[in-house]
Chain A
Amino acid sequence: MTQDQLVVDKIKAAYPDAIEEVVDFRGERTLIVQPDKLKAICYILRNNTDCQYDFLSDIVGDDYLPEFPRFAVSYHLYSIPKNHRLRLRVWVEDPDEGPETVGPVWPIATWLEMEVYDLMGIRFQGNGSLRRLFLPEDWQGHPLRKDYPLGYEEVQFSFNWQEIDAKKPYAKD
């Protein structure tokens, strides 16, 4: 049995309907799972002796505007003992109520989720250290969203803040 199939079986044994879809593209296996089962699945994948996904490579937020659900979060797992990569993916309907943090499973997740929050605005539940990381603390909006403009904006300084702010779309409501 291949590692790909083994992982699916292990998850199905514990949570029969947690996997919504299995996607294979260019030799990469993606499991689209239910957001509320995500953390439990992560625990299985890390602790099960047949899986041993001990390394979390990356967490990526994705914006599918104008589709619904609009956001997706991908977790790129890697197993150093098994030399196998796996991607978990969840759909996020409401960015303010994003998936539960996987920080307790892999400590690095807390740090990676901070980046997703700062640039994509997905709030991971239970992650207490979400804050502005790259952008100033008073920044408005999340730049990697598709509805965030790319450039052509006047830079606001303290002396012309009000003047430029009045012209911005969000200020008028």
Chain B
Amino acid sequence: MQLPSGGDTIQELTVEELRAKVGTGMEIEDAEEHLLLSMGPQHPSTHGVLRLLLELDGENVVNMAPDIGFLHTGVEKNMEAKTYTKALVMTDRLDYLSPMSNNLGYILAVEKLLGVEATPRAQAIRVILTELARVSSHLVWLGTHALDLAAMSVFLYCFREREYILDLFEMCSGQRMMVSYFRPGGLWRDIPEEFEPAVREFLNFMPARIADYEALTKRNPIWLARTKDIGVVDAATAVAWGMTGPSLRGSGVNWDIRKAQPYCGYEDYDFDVPVATEGDVYARYLCRMEEMKQSLRIIEQALNKLPKGPVNIDDRKIVPPPRAELGRSMEAVIHHFKLWTEGFSAPTGYVYQSVESPRGEFACYLRGDGGPKPARCHFRTPSYVHLASLPHMSKGRFVADVVSIIGSVDIVLGEIDR
């Protein structure tokens, strides 16, 4: 094979090639006067290594093509080479702002494939931690979104509170970000004693902090000017383009997977799903702010009725035995050895499990072939799907509005490129 054409030079795209890439076939007058601008991959407002090819008419965006793949690490391929338990660590690295939600989506898929269900205590702890992850993810979103729109101070406040949540994660899993805390059949281990008072402390101060963020942004004239009536998506378009989560609910579609198809006992918690109808950047902002408050409600309810009991199911073919048993029981040693060398086998078949991640519908398609490794593992990541609707929201807007639109759909490049 020959050296690929242009292998050592950087190819430049013409307007025609760009239009072919975007695939809209729009007829535009005096297209030769348009400017092609490459925004990213190293651009602070693209929230990672996203490259946007913009076709500009003066300051207005005529067309846009997202160029992705700079962070592609072959997660799905790698998972096929690991056992079900070991593949878990890959999921933390997808959406690195809310690893708990990814863990949960994958673990629920594995448990569905195996046909087991976690204990009530494990489910309640999972709910507490995923809701904490939702708050921490929304804090990063608000901070960086505000930073993009030139509100520096919000960012600093948000990261102060996020730090507290990361400390909570460290307390129970030993890790601040790449937690891998949920395991097939339960949890890595039970939460420590100091966890509950620490979360209660968080529930105490957090509502006032959210009020602070709202005081900084909600009626701020600059904020309103940068978010109102920008990136408008109506309900039908949002559904057709596969938008989910707060981005969909900002357009007036009341669909939350926690309510529609509950998992982990979400049906037992009393919470509201915030919906706004305007479909613009501001509506999505309102939804996310309200979602943080609802998450606090869920966490409080889950803490109040946290059931006692084991956190792991009583199936030694899936969950490794506790360390103390290894010294006494030969059977425990065998189980321990088998689980950590070979892993457990899942039946033949395929399942699809969705969870409501902070960004929208995070789903895991998992196919087992009777062996200890997944035959195929695919992730439906909300950020990847949201990227497709970006050109629609941006067309005809200013370049500065593109920044605000990207911030409003809250993309994470780790889960786009996988």
Query: Which A residues are closer than 8 A to B by beta carbons?
Result: 25-26, 28, 30, 54-58, 60, 62-63, 74, 76, 80, 83, 85, 87, 106-108, 110-112, 115, 119, 128-129, 131-136, 138, 140, 143-144, 148, 150, 158, 161-162, 165, 170-171
The answer to whether B240 and A57 touch across the interface, beta carbons within 8 angstroms, is no
The answer to whether B388 and A134 touch across the interface, beta carbons within 8 angstroms, is no
Q: How far is the CB of A102 from chain B (nearest CB, A)?
A: 12
Q: Is B361 an interface residue (CB 8 A)?
A: yes
With A57-B361, A83-B261, A85-B261 in contact, is A26–B69 under 8 Å at CB?
Answer: no
The answer to whether B3 and A161 touch across the interface, beta carbons within 8 angstroms, is yes
The answer to whether B255 and A165 touch across the interface, beta carbons within 8 angstroms, is no
* CB 8 Å contact bits of B208-248 with A (1 = contact, 0 = none): 00000000000000000000000000000001111000000
Name the residue on A nearest B253 (C-beta): A80
8 closest A-B pairs by CB = A138-B4, A108-B242, A111-B388, A134-B69, A58-B380, A129-B23, A134-B72, A25-B349
The answer to whether A106 and B240 touch across the interface, beta carbons within 8 angstroms, is yes
Could you say which of A74, A128, A143, A150 contacts B365, with CB atoms under 8 Å apart?
A74
Name the residue on A nearest B22 (C-beta): A129
The answer to whether A58 and B72 touch across the interface, beta carbons within 8 angstroms, is no
- Distance between Cα atoms of A74 and B364 in the complex (Å): 13
- Distance between Cα atoms of A128 and B106 in the complex (Å): 33
Name the residue on A nearest B6 (C-beta): A138
With A80-B255, A158-B3 in contact, is A150–B81 under 8 Å at CB?
Answer: yes
- Distance between Cα atoms of A60 and B352 in the complex (Å): 11
Name the residue on A nearest B4 (C-beta): A138
With A26-B351, A165-B1 in contact, is A135–B380 under 8 Å at CB?
Answer: no
Give the dominant DSSP class at A's interface: mixed
The answer to whether A161 and B351 touch across the interface, beta carbons within 8 angstroms, is no
Q: How far is the CB of A165 from chain B (nearest CB, A)?
A: 6
B interface residues, tally (CB under 8 Å): 47
- Distance between Cα atoms of A85 and B363 in the complex (Å): 13
Q: Which residues of A contact B74 (CB under 8 A)?
A: 143
Q: Which residues of B contact A60 (CB under 8 A)?
A: 365, 376, 378
With A26-B113, A133-B69, A171-B1 in contact, is A58–B365 under 8 Å at CB?
Answer: yes
Q: How far is the CB of B157 from chain A (nearest CB, A)?
A: 36
Q: Is B263 an interface residue (CB 8 A)?
A: no
Q: Is B384 an interface residue (CB 8 A)?
A: yes
Q: How far is the CB of A141 from chain B (nearest CB, A)?
A: 12
The answer to whether A57 and B77 touch across the interface, beta carbons within 8 angstroms, is no
- Distance between Cα atoms of A170 and B1 in the complex (Å): 9
Q: Could you tell me which residues of chain B, from 315 to 369, have a CB within 8 Å of some CB in chain A? A: 349-352, 354, 361, 363, 365, 367
Q: Is B204 an interface residue (CB 8 A)?
A: no
Q: Is B385 an interface residue (CB 8 A)?
A: yes
The answer to whether A133 and B242 touch across the interface, beta carbons within 8 angstroms, is no
Q: How far is the CB of B276 from chain A (nearest CB, A)?
A: 17
Q: Is B309 an interface residue (CB 8 A)?
A: no
Q: Which residues of B contact A80 (CB under 8 A)?
A: 239, 253, 255
Could you say which of B3, B113, B239, B417 contacts A55, with CB atoms under 8 Å apart?
B239
The answer to whether B77 and A143 touch across the interface, beta carbons within 8 angstroms, is yes
Q: Which residues of A contact B161 (CB under 8 A)?
A: none
Q: How far is the CB of A116 from chain B (nearest CB, A)?
A: 9
Q: Could you tell me which residues of chain B, from 1 to 47, have a CB within 8 Å of some CB in chain A? A: 1, 3-8, 21, 23
The answer to whether A57 and B76 touch across the interface, beta carbons within 8 angstroms, is no
Q: Which residues of A contact B68 (CB under 8 A)?
A: 133-134
Could you say which of A55, A63, A115, A165 contacts B242, with CB atoms under 8 Å apart?
A55
Could you say which of B69, B378, B385, B417 contacts A108, with CB atoms under 8 Å apart?
B385
Name the residue on A nearest B112 (C-beta): A26
Q: Which residues of B contact A28 (CB under 8 A)?
A: 351-352
With A55-B239, A55-B242, A76-B365 in contact, is A162–B3 under 8 Å at CB?
Answer: yes
The answer to whether A76 and B1 touch across the interface, beta carbons within 8 angstroms, is no
- Distance between Cα atoms of A87 and B81 in the complex (Å): 26
Q: Which residues of B contact A128 (CB under 8 A)?
A: 23
